[in-house]
Amino acid sequence: MSFKDNIKKHFKEKLGGELNKMTVSEWGIDVFYKSAYSFAVESKIIALQQDKKTVEAIVESIIQKALDPEGKPMFHSSDRHMLMFEADPEVLLRISSVLNGSVDEYEDIAKN
Protein backbone atom coordinates (compact mmCIF):
# COMPACT_ATOMS: atom_id res chain seq x y z
CA MET A 1 0.00 0.00 0.00
CA SER A 2 1.44 3.39 -0.98
CA PHE A 3 1.56 6.37 1.33
CA LYS A 4 -1.18 8.00 -0.76
CA ASP A 5 -3.40 5.00 -0.13
CA ASN A 6 -2.60 5.37 3.58
CA ILE A 7 -3.63 9.04 3.46
CA LYS A 8 -6.98 8.18 1.88
CA LYS A 9 -7.54 5.19 4.16
CA HIS A 10 -6.84 7.25 7.29
CA PHE A 11 -9.28 9.98 6.29
CA LYS A 12 -11.95 7.51 5.18
CA GLU A 13 -11.74 5.83 8.59
CA LYS A 14 -12.01 9.19 10.33
CA LEU A 15 -15.07 10.15 8.28
CA GLY A 16 -16.68 6.75 8.76
CA GLY A 17 -16.31 6.65 12.53
CA GLU A 18 -19.08 6.97 15.06
CA LEU A 19 -21.09 10.16 15.13
CA ASN A 20 -20.65 12.50 18.05
CA LYS A 21 -23.73 13.91 19.75
CA MET A 22 -24.62 17.15 21.47
CA THR A 23 -27.93 17.83 23.13
CA VAL A 24 -29.63 21.12 22.36
CA SER A 25 -32.11 21.31 25.21
CA GLU A 26 -33.65 24.59 24.00
CA TRP A 27 -34.73 22.87 20.79
CA GLY A 28 -35.49 19.48 22.36
CA ILE A 29 -33.14 17.66 19.98
CA ASP A 30 -29.78 15.99 19.69
CA VAL A 31 -27.45 17.21 16.97
CA PHE A 32 -25.04 14.64 15.59
CA TYR A 33 -21.75 15.44 13.89
CA LYS A 34 -18.55 13.87 12.61
CA SER A 35 -15.11 14.33 14.09
CA ALA A 36 -13.74 15.47 10.71
CA TYR A 37 -14.92 17.04 7.46
CA SER A 38 -13.29 17.33 4.07
CA PHE A 39 -11.99 20.59 2.65
CA ALA A 40 -14.88 20.40 0.19
CA VAL A 41 -17.29 20.84 3.12
CA GLU A 42 -15.09 23.45 4.80
CA SER A 43 -14.44 25.54 1.67
CA LYS A 44 -17.63 27.62 1.71
CA ILE A 45 -17.32 28.21 5.46
CA ILE A 46 -13.70 29.32 5.06
CA ALA A 47 -14.62 31.63 2.15
CA LEU A 48 -17.34 33.29 4.25
CA GLN A 49 -14.91 33.78 7.14
CA GLN A 50 -12.32 35.31 4.82
CA ASP A 51 -15.00 37.70 3.53
CA LYS A 52 -15.63 38.69 7.18
CA LYS A 53 -19.14 37.20 7.05
CA THR A 54 -18.88 35.52 10.43
CA VAL A 55 -22.60 35.07 11.02
CA GLU A 56 -23.11 33.54 7.60
CA ALA A 57 -20.14 31.21 8.24
CA ILE A 58 -21.69 30.07 11.53
CA VAL A 59 -25.01 29.29 9.87
CA GLU A 60 -23.29 27.57 6.93
CA SER A 61 -21.30 25.36 9.30
CA ILE A 62 -24.55 24.26 10.97
CA ILE A 63 -26.20 23.60 7.60
CA GLN A 64 -23.19 21.60 6.41
CA LYS A 65 -22.33 19.71 9.61
CA ALA A 66 -25.43 19.14 11.75
CA LEU A 67 -26.66 15.60 11.19
CA ASP A 68 -29.56 13.44 12.31
CA PRO A 69 -28.96 10.07 14.07
CA GLU A 70 -28.61 8.32 10.69
CA GLY A 71 -25.90 10.76 9.59
CA LYS A 72 -28.09 12.70 7.17
CA PRO A 73 -28.16 16.51 7.12
CA MET A 74 -30.59 18.07 9.59
CA PHE A 75 -30.74 21.32 7.63
CA HIS A 76 -30.71 22.34 4.00
CA SER A 77 -29.97 25.56 2.15
CA SER A 78 -33.67 26.40 2.33
CA ASP A 79 -33.31 26.60 6.15
CA ARG A 80 -30.70 29.38 5.96
CA HIS A 81 -33.24 32.22 6.32
CA MET A 82 -34.90 30.57 9.31
CA LEU A 83 -31.56 30.03 11.04
CA MET A 84 -30.42 33.58 10.29
CA PHE A 85 -33.59 35.37 11.40
CA GLU A 86 -35.69 33.05 13.57
CA ALA A 87 -33.21 31.11 15.72
CA ASP A 88 -31.51 32.15 18.96
CA PRO A 89 -27.98 33.37 18.09
CA GLU A 90 -26.62 32.09 21.40
CA VAL A 91 -27.80 28.55 20.62
CA LEU A 92 -26.42 28.78 17.08
CA LEU A 93 -23.05 29.93 18.43
CA ARG A 94 -22.92 27.05 20.89
CA ILE A 95 -23.81 24.48 18.21
CA SER A 96 -21.35 25.93 15.72
CA SER A 97 -18.59 25.94 18.33
CA VAL A 98 -19.09 22.25 19.00
CA LEU A 99 -19.44 21.33 15.33
CA ASN A 100 -16.26 23.22 14.51
CA GLY A 101 -14.30 21.74 17.40
CA SER A 102 -13.81 24.93 19.38
CA VAL A 103 -15.71 24.10 22.57
CA ASP A 104 -12.95 25.40 24.85
CA GLU A 105 -12.74 28.64 22.89
CA TYR A 106 -16.53 29.10 23.05
CA GLU A 107 -16.56 28.49 26.81
CA ASP A 108 -13.84 31.14 27.27
CA ILE A 109 -15.81 33.65 25.19
CA ALA A 110 -19.03 32.86 27.06
CA LYS A 111 -17.34 33.58 30.42
CA ASN A 112 -16.38 37.13 29.35
Entry pTM: 0.80
Domain membership flag for residue 27? yes
* Domain extent for 67: 19-111
> How many Å apart are CA 11 and CA 92, to the nearest integer?
28
| pLDDT band per the 50, 70, 90 thresholds, residue 102 | low
Confidence of residue 12 (pLDDT cuts 50, 70, 90): confident
Work out how many domains the chain is built from and give that number: 1
pLDDT in tens, 29-88: 999 999 888 888 889 999 999 999 999 999 999 999 999 999 999 999 999 999 999 999
More confident residue, 108 or 35: 35
Here the CATH number for the domain that contains residue 68 is: 3.30.2220.20
